[in-house]
Structure 1
Amino acid sequence: MNRVTIGITAFFGLAFVLYWQAQVKRSEMDAIKIVGVERPDFIADNLRTIEFNKEGLIASKVTAKHMEHYASSDITHFTEPVYLIYPENGKAQWQLSADRGQLNKQTNKVILENNVIIDAIDIEEPLQSLSTQTVTLDLSTMIGSSEEMVYIEGKGFMIQGLGLHADLNAQKLSLLSKVEGTYEPQ
């Protein structure tokens, strides 16, 4: 063999080895991406949805700026969600909004985070607004809870306390500790 043939063979051999190494590294990187990052099964922008209960009555209405659903965990993430909650009697009574939300369909619980505001829809309701940083709501029982500071405004009063337990069906609300309030007669 002459030098040119040896040079060409060495060049193509080296090119093949470098190409093979690049392919091995690429497949390793693809495996890391697949294992490390779960992609949503579907995405929606400007979402509007209505959920019905077993009797055919509206259970909740949800709007959100952005939504991502992950079928493997059955969890849905929301950006700027707004929930209209319909307790047992079928009339919307509460509107819940937050910066972020998460719905777990396996447990049927909604977690709302950052600037959570719960407003009464009826202007005659004594309790008009509740705000906190995190609320967990069980959609099966309509029981909400929080371990954060909670601020409540109503007709002629303001109350704050640490922790919350609320039964939206029974329309009962309890602040758990460090409760302070101001009452202004009308």
Structure 2
Amino acid sequence: MNWRIVGIIVLLFGLGLLLVLRPFSDDDEEGAATATKLMQPDFTAYGLETKIFESYGALAHQIRSEEMAHYNQIGLTELKQPKYSVFSQDGTETWQVSAEQGTFYDDKTLILERSVEIQALLESSPIQRIMTEYLVIDLANESMSTEYPVIMRGPQVVVRGDGLSADMSAEIMELKRHVKTVFQPKS
């Protein structure tokens, strides 16, 4: 066999191996995810509560979690089984949001994931439960949003949609895209 052909085959094999291994790849997302997994938390707490107060002293928000792991370097706290509570100006707990896991960032953004359920605590609320798989809560602006499918349940209605935006201070909630509504009148 000709040495040139052997050299070309070896060169092509080497280039193919480089493409498969990609040692020069600079994938920031993979690197950041790996760094977070390898990073040790600054502290871990169990059964901890975080309370956020209004400027005049009233309790506005509360976050409880079975387990919290805080990473000071990257400014986030991982939460297991978090429960987020919203309080009215008179101190009444109006909504409770729970999920399997969550992340609380230093900029007062709370991201909840997997089996997210928003429960109305006032019986007079026309919507009693809202379910989705992902929810972003901006505590600074008192807003909630998701692009994921949403199911809203009330005493006599079930509403399905894609995406939700809510202004907690104005008590306004809006589906981004309505899919289906089923009325269930009482007999």
Q: Do the structures match in fold with TM over 0.5?
A: yes
In 1, Cα distance between the equivalents of 2:36 and 2:157? 53
Amino acid at match of 2:180: E
**1:89 Cα deviation from its structure 2 partner:** 5.4
In structure 1, the residue matched to 2:42 is 41
**1:185 Cα deviation from its structure 2 partner:** 3.1
Aligned 8 A contact 2:58 2:89 in 1: no
In structure 1, the residue matched to 2:148 is 148
In 1, Cα distance between the equivalents of 2:164 and 2:153? 14
TM-score by length of 2: 0.75
In structure 2, the residue matched to 1:68 is 69
Amino acid at match of 1:95: Q
In structure 1, the residue matched to 2:129 is 129
Aligned 8 A contact 1:81 1:98 in 2: yes
- Residue 97 (structure 1) aligned with residue 112 (structure 2): no
Amino acid at match of 1:171: E
Aligned 8 A contact 1:87 1:142 in 2: no
Q: Which blocks of at least 5 consecutive residues in structure 1 are unaligned?
A: 1-33
- Residue 176 (structure 1) aligned with residue 167 (structure 2): no
In 2, Cα distance between the equivalents of 1:64 and 1:171? 25
Q: 1:140 aligns to what SS in structure 2?
A: coil
**1:143 Cα deviation from its structure 2 partner:** 0.9
Q: Which blocks of at least 5 consecutive residues in structure 2 are unaligned?
A: 1-34
Task: Report which stretch shifted further, 152-161 or 51-60.
Answer: 51-60
**1:169 Cα deviation from its structure 2 partner:** 1.4
Larger Rg: 1
In 1, Cα distance between the equivalents of 2:38 and 2:145? 31
**1:47 Cα deviation from its structure 2 partner:** 1.7
Amino acid at match of 1:64: S
Q: 2:93 aligns to what SS in structure 1?
A: coil
Partner deviation per Cα, 1:155-177 (whole Å, 9 max, x = no partner)? 21110001111111111111111
Aligned 8 A contact 1:88 1:169 in 2: no
Partner deviation per Cα, 1:55-112 (whole Å, 9 max, x = no partner)? 1111212221110111112211100001111255543211000000111122x11000
Query: CA RMSD, aligned part only?
Result: 2.1
Q: 1:70 to 1:178 in 2, by over 3 A?
A: same
**1:179 Cα deviation from its structure 2 partner:** 2.2
TM-score by length of 1: 0.76
In structure 2, the residue matched to 1:110 is 110
Partner deviation per Cα, 1:132-171 (whole Å, 9 max, x = no partner)? 0000010012111101100000121110001111111111
**1:48 Cα deviation from its structure 2 partner:** 2.6
